[in-house]
C-alpha cells in the first residue's frame, strides 16, 4: 500500500497545534506553582498599589498608568516561565526528545507554548481590567480598553522569545534561577512596578535594551501616558531584541542536537 502521508494538509497542522495548545494549557493550569502566582501576583500588586494605596487619591492617573504596566507584568510571567522553565524541564526530562521522534511539527509545539502564555495573559488582563474599572474607577474610551489589551497581549511574543532563549541554553535548575532573576530585574528596570521616571537617568537609558521596557511604553502609548518616544522607536528596538533572542535560541537548539 502506498503511503501518501509525507505531505500533511494545513488542516492537520492546525489541528495538531490546537491540540498541543489545549494540553499545554491544561498541563500548566494544573501546576499550582505556575498557575497561582501567574494569575494572582499581578492582581495582588494592582489591588495593593493602585486600588488600596490610591483610594481617595487626587487623580486616576496612577491607577490608569499601573493598569498598563501591571498588564505587561501580568503577561511577562506566563511568557517567560512557560518557555524558560517549561522548555528546559521538558528537554531535561526527555519529553522534547520523544516529541522529536514523532510526526509533531515543531511549529505546533512553539504555537502551543505561545498560545498557553496568551491564554493566561488574556485572563490576567481581563481580571486586571475588571479590577481597574470597578474597584479603582479607571475610565477609558471603549477603543482604549481594546487598544490597551491588544498592546499588552502582543507582548507575549517578544517575551516568549526571551524565555525561549533562556530555555534553549539553561538546564532546568539553572533556568528557574535565571528566569526568576531576569523576570524580577527586568520588571523593575523596565518600569513595570513603578514609573520608569523614578529611576536614575542612567538606568532610564539602560532600559532601552530591555524588551519589557518597550512593551510597557507601547501599552502606555494607547492611554497617552508614555514618555513620548515615537512608536517606531519602540517597535524597531523590541523587534530587534526579539530577533536576537530567536537567534540565540536557535543556536542553543543546534548545540543540543549536535551533542
Partner 1 sequence: MALPSGSDPALARLSGVSHRYGDVLALDRLDLEVREGEVLAVLGPNGAGKTTAVSLLLGTLNLQTGAARVFGSAPDAADVRLRRGAMLQVSGVPETLTVGEHLALFRAYYPSPLPTARLLEMAGLQELRDRRFGKLSGGQKQRVMFALALAGDPELVFLDEPTAGLDLDGRRRLWDEIHGLKAAGRTAVLTTHYLEEADALADRIAVIHRGRLIAEGTPEEIKSRTAGRVVRCVTTISPETARSFPEAAGVETKGQHLEVVTAEPEAVLRRMFALDPELGDLTVVGVGLEEAFLALTGDGAGPEGEL
Q: Which residues contact partner 1 (rule: CB under 8 A)?
A: 1-3, 5-8, 15-16, 19-20, 23, 26-28, 30-31, 90, 93-95, 97-98, 100-104, 257-259
Give whichever of 7 and 142 is closer to partner 1, judged by the CB atom: 7
Handedness of CA 222, 228, 229, 234 (dihedral sign): negative
Q: Which of 219, 204, 202, 212 is nearest to 238 (CA)?
A: 212
Nearest distance, CB of residue 32 and partner 1, angstroms: 10
- Locate the DSSP E strands across the chain: none
Q: Which residue matches cell numbers 499588552? A: 152
Q: 10 Å Cβ neighbour count for 102?
A: 8
Q: Minimum Å distance from CB 157 to partner 1?
A: 23
> What gap in Å lies between CA 259 and CA 256, rounded to an integer?
6
CA-nearest of 86, 68, 230 to 164 is 86
To partner 1, the closest distance from the beta carbon of 144 in angstroms equals 38
CB of 40 to partner 1, least distance (A): 19
Q: Which is nearer to partner 1, 57 or 103 (CB)?
A: 103
Shorter beta-carbon distance to partner 1: residue 95 or 181: 95
**CA nearest to 121, candidates 85, 160, 89:** 160
Residue closer to partner 1 (CB basis): 37 or 103: 103
Query: Residue 153 CB, nearest distance to partner 1 (Å)?
Result: 25
Max Cα distance, the chain (Å): 77
Q: Which three cell numbers stand for residue 49?
A: 498599589
| Residue (100 or 141) nearer to partner 1, CB | 100
Amino acid at each position: 500500500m502506498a503511503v501518501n502521508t509525507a505531505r500533511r494538509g494545513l488542516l492537520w497542522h492546525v489541528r495538531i497545534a490546537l491540540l498541543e495548545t489545549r494540553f499545554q494549557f491544561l498541563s500548566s493550569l494544573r501546576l499550582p506553582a505556575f498557575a497561582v502566582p501567574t494569575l494572582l501576583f499581578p492582581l495582588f500588586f494592582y489591588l495593593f498599589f493602585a486600588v488600596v494605596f490610591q483610594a481617595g487619591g487626587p487623580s486616576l492617573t496612577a491607577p490608569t498608568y499601573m493598569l498598563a504596566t501591571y498588564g505587561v507584568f501580568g503577561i511577562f510571567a506566563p511568557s517567560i516561565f512557560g518557555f524558560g522553565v517549561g522548555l528546559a524541564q521538558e528537554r531535561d526530562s526527555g519529553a522534547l526528545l520523544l516529541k522529536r521522534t514523532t510526526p509533531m511539527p515543531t511549529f505546533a509545539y512553539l504555537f502551543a507554548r505561545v498560545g498557553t502564555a496568551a491564554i493566561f495573559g488574556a485572563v490576567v488582563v481581563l481580571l486586571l481590567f475588571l479590577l481597574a474599572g470597578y474597584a479603582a474607577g479607571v475610565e477609558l474610551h471603549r477603543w482604549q480598553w481594546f487598544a490597551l489589551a491588544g498592546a499588552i497581549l502582543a507582548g507575549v511574543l517578544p517575551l516568549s522569545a526571551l524565555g525561549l532563549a533562556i530555555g534553549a541554553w539553561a538546564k532546568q535548575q539553572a533556568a528557574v534561577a535565571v528566569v526568576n532573576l531576569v523576570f524580577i530585574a527586568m520588571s523593575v528596570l523596565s518600569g513595570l512596578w513603578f514609573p520608569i521616571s523614578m529611576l536614575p537617568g542612567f538606568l532610564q537609558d539602560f532600559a532601552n535594551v530591555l524588551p519589557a521596557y518597550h512593551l510597557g511604553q507601547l501599552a502606555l502609548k494607547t492611554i497617552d501616558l508614555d514618555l513620548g518616544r515615537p512608536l517606531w522607536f519602540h517597535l524597531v528596538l523590541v523587534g530587534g531584541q526579539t530577533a536576537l533572542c530567536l537567534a540565540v535560541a536557535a543556536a542553543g537548539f543546534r548545540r543540543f542536537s549536535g551533542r
